[in-house]
Amino acid sequence: DQQVKQNSPSLSVQEGRISILNCDYTNSMFDYFLWYKKYPAEGPTFLISISSIKDKNEDGRFTVFLNKSAKHLSLHIVPSQPGDSAVYFCAASPYSGGGADGLTFGKGTHLIIQP
Amino acid sequence: DTEVTQTPKHLVMGMTNKKSLKCEQHMGHRAMYWYKQKAKKPPELMFVYSYEKLSINESVPSRFSPECPNSSLLNLHLHALQPEDSALYLCASSQERNMNTEAFFGQGTRLTVV
């Protein structure tokens, strides 16, 4: 049973437009959520995180929104750039921190930015 | 320095071989992790070390043997692996377990068992 779901295996967005990646979770014990970006043949790179006590966190072009009642979070990238093309993993942790042992990952969404 | 360095990047080994994967970080992180990632699947936790002590072993077969010689190094010793163990092995570190800080991942070792 997947506790973290990314229902879109891939997403294609035009350069300059907004990319919206979605993630749903089922475990109400999750307290901290992270997004990782992964290029082929590389390890995941931390992108942005959000604690369950917040509903929004912004870092430059990246914004993560959390809707606890809907058990849904989304990552917005504005404006999308060619270098954003990668696989994006949503991850959740039951701990108030983000240490890696409690992380449950989604299956990832492959974001393709088209020129 | 926010890097987690893994060596080798690629490894091909036979089922009777013994090999080791290495991971190093110099960020002063006291928690280190091994993950396994199969193609088109999310990373799966294998082991967690906290202050050089094994904290979590996620029911990993004994043919995988972790070792943490010091706070900067994490090894994964491999022996008598099976072809289905072929995967990307990722090392990660974080400041401490369960703290409000992200985990940093290495580039991974692409392992092929023949």
Torsion of CA B102, B11, A108, B99, to 10 degrees: -10
Provide the pLDDT for residue B96: 80
Measured between CA atoms, how close is A8 to chain B, in angstroms?
13
- CB atoms near residue B58 (< 10 Å): 13
What residues of chain B, 73 to 92, have a C-beta less than 8 Å from chain A?
Answer: 90-92
Confidence of residue B58 (pLDDT cuts 50, 70, 90): confident
Provide the pLDDT for residue B97: 75
pLDDT digits (tens, 9 = 90+) for B12-52: 999 999 999 999 999 999 999 999 999 878 888 899 999 99
Residue positions counted in chain B: 114
Does residue B106 belong to the interface with chain A, where contact is any CB pair within 8 Å? yes
The tokens describing B107, both together, are 């580039």
- DSSP code per residue over chain A: --SEE---SEEEEETTS-EEEEEEE--TT--EEEEEEE-TTS--EEEEEEETT-SEEEETTEEEEEETTTTEEEEEESS--GGG-EEEEEEEESSSS--GGG-EE---EEEEEE-
Across the interface, which of A46, A106, A108 has its CB nearest the CB of B103? Answer: A46
pLDDT in tens, chain A (115 residues): 789 999 999 999 999 999 999 999 999 988 889 999 998 877 888 899 998 999 999 999 999 999 999 999 999 999 999 999 999 999 998 876 555 567 889 999 999 999 9
The tokens describing A42, both together, are 């590389």
Record: contact B56-A96, CB cut-off 8 A: no
Provide the pLDDT for residue A29: 87
Provide the pLDDT for residue A97: 55
Q: Which position has the higher pLDDT, B99 or A92?
A: A92
Mutation for testing the B interface, residue in A62, A101, A105 having most B CBs under 10 Å:
A101
What is the maximum span of chain B, computed from C-alpha positions, in angstroms? 42
Distance (Å) of CA B84 to CA A34, A108, B33: 29, 22, 21
Provide the pLDDT for residue A96: 63
Tell me what the mean pLDDT of segment B50-75 comes to.
92
Q: Is the dihedral of CA B99, A43, A87, A14 positive or negative?
A: positive
Which residues in chain A touch residue B106, judged by CB atoms under 8 angstroms apart?
Answer: 43
Residue B100 in this model has a pLDDT that exceeds 60: no
Provide the pLDDT for residue A93: 84
* Least confident residue range of A49-58, A68-77, B63-72, B93-102: B93-102
> What's the start-to-end Cα distance of chain B, in Å?
36
Q: Is B85 helix (H, G, I), strand (E, B) or coil?
A: helix
Strand order in the sheet with B64-70: B4-7, B18-25, B73-79, B64-70
